[in-house]
Structure 1
Amino acid sequence: MKISRRPALSEDERLAALGRLLTDTDTPMRLRVAGVIVLLYAQPLTRIVQLTVDDVLHDGETTLLRLGEPASPVPEPAAALLLAYIADRDNMNTATNQASRWLFPGRRAGRPARPDHMSSRLREIGIPVAAARGAAIRQQLLELPAPVVAEALGYHDKTTSRLLRESGGTWSRYAAGDHSRSPSGWTPRGAHGADNTPSSPSRPITHV
């Protein structure tokens, strides 16, 4: 997965954009959710539109988004926004789309939303996707080892290692190996109100 070399948002700009998407009820919910995924998890829109509702795992207390291995925790209030959106997705009215599993169903029956169209809409509401992704991945690399970020967010380890060097991170000596679990209690930084307490699901996680 590639990251643009265009200037990233500053951390203050990323947090401001994230806070706005989490609270601005005048913005269409699908754009809010897509923008939050970009700002928290540095995902490209080509991948975001391929997500399905089965990639959202929920047990009543914990919400996870499957982007890599392991699935990434979704902090509050982002989790509540994501679940509310799933319960009332748009473009679901046609007969052929009523059973769609796409997280972002497109206008064409059976197809997901177009990434170029979503990119344009996000730009209209002040979310430049490439700059937002750059800010998100660099912040993750300042807080977590590059191999963990690569596996959890679906990046190539060479990409995260390069970005780590560019961002001046301190995890360069982290040992390679089995990183099949996120660090205990990992919560992506920047979601207002997120609880950083380690969580252990009390019952099996199920698809939404």
Structure 2
Amino acid sequence: MRTSPSLTQDQRMAWIRELLNGASESLPYRVAGILLLLYAQPLVKVVTLEMSFVDDKPAGMSITLGQRPTGVPEPFAQLLRRHVTNRPNLRTGAGPDSPWLFPSTLAGRHLHPNTVMDRLRELGVNLLGARNRAIGELVLEVPPSLVAEALGYSPKVAFLHADKAAEPWARYAGLSLRSP
């Protein structure tokens, strides 16, 4: 039987706290790491996020990772706001008009995914384990089809993670119809 690497939920939460509050890394890498740890986003996708995917309204912040916007909880919203207003590398190419949430030092480009991966690995973050734990926790809270839609995953992948988490939502309707 093949196993996938994973963090414990305590390890995942410790990394989220560190990236939210710690000074172990610069702001862009902290934001990228939290997108991995909170929303199970692969870093190759994180670095290609555009500014237009982030919507900050008085009612709250959201980010579009899948088919529709997903809420950004505090205190991560505060950190993301700081990053949006202080993006690095804006003196190249498009300047402040750069469409990228994570602009590169190369004009008109976004950060290379390996740059972000290497920085987070140097900190000690198990990238695949973090993503597996994040999606595993999300499918425990929300039906896998909704997780897939909100985060840009295929329903098949979300249901596989739900099965691994021992919470197959396919049986949910049948369980709710049973008498107590």
> After TM superposition, is the score higher than 0.5?
yes
Counterpart of 1:158, as a letter, is K
- Which of 22, 27, 30 aligns to 1:29? It is 27
Indicate which of 37, 50, 53 corresponds to 1:52. Answer: 50
Q: Which is bigger in relative contact order (C-alpha 8 A, separation at least 6)?
A: 1
Q: Distance in 1 between matches of 2:56 and 2:92?
A: 27
Among 79, 85, 88, which residue is 1:87 paired with? Answer: 85
Indicate if the aligned counterparts of 2:92 and 2:106 stay in contact, CA closer than 8 A: no
Indicate the residue corresponding to 2:122 in structure 1.
Answer: 124
Give the share of equivalent positions with the same residue, in percent.
Answer: 39
Which residue of the partner structure matches residue 143 of structure 1?
Answer: 141
Deviating more after overlay: 134-143 vs 86-95: 86-95
Q: How does the TM-score come out when normalised to structure 1?
A: 0.78
Could you say which residue in structure 2 is the equivalent of 1:74? Answer: 72
Residues 121 and 127 in structure 2, CA contact (< 8 A), matched pair in contact too? yes
1:164–1:172 CA contact under 8 A, matched in 2: no
Task: Could you list the structure 1 runs, at least 4 aligned residues long, displaced by more than 4 angstroms after superposition.
Answer: none
Aligned-residue CA RMSD in angstroms? 1.5
Matched, 1:156 2:154: yes
Residue 29 (structure 1) shift: 0.1
Higher helix share: 2
**Any idea what the Cα deviations from partners look like across 1:87-115, whole Å, max 9, x if unmatched?**
00111123543320100001110010000
Once the two structures are TM-superposed, the CA of residue 61 in structure 1 deviates from its matched residue by 3.3
Determine the C-alpha separation between the residues in 2 that align with 1:17 and 1:61: 28
Label 1:123 to 1:26 Cα distance change in 2 as closer, same or farther (>3 A): closer
Larger Rg computed on CA atoms: 2
In the alignment of these two chains, the number of paired residues is 171
Give unmatched runs, 5+ long, in structure 2: 174-180
Aligned equivalents of 2:69, 2:152: Cα separation in 1: 10
Shift, 1:73, TM fit: 0.5
* Alignment TM-score, normalising by the size of structure 2: 0.90
Q: Of residues 40, 43, 46 in structure 2, which corresponds to 1:42?
A: 40
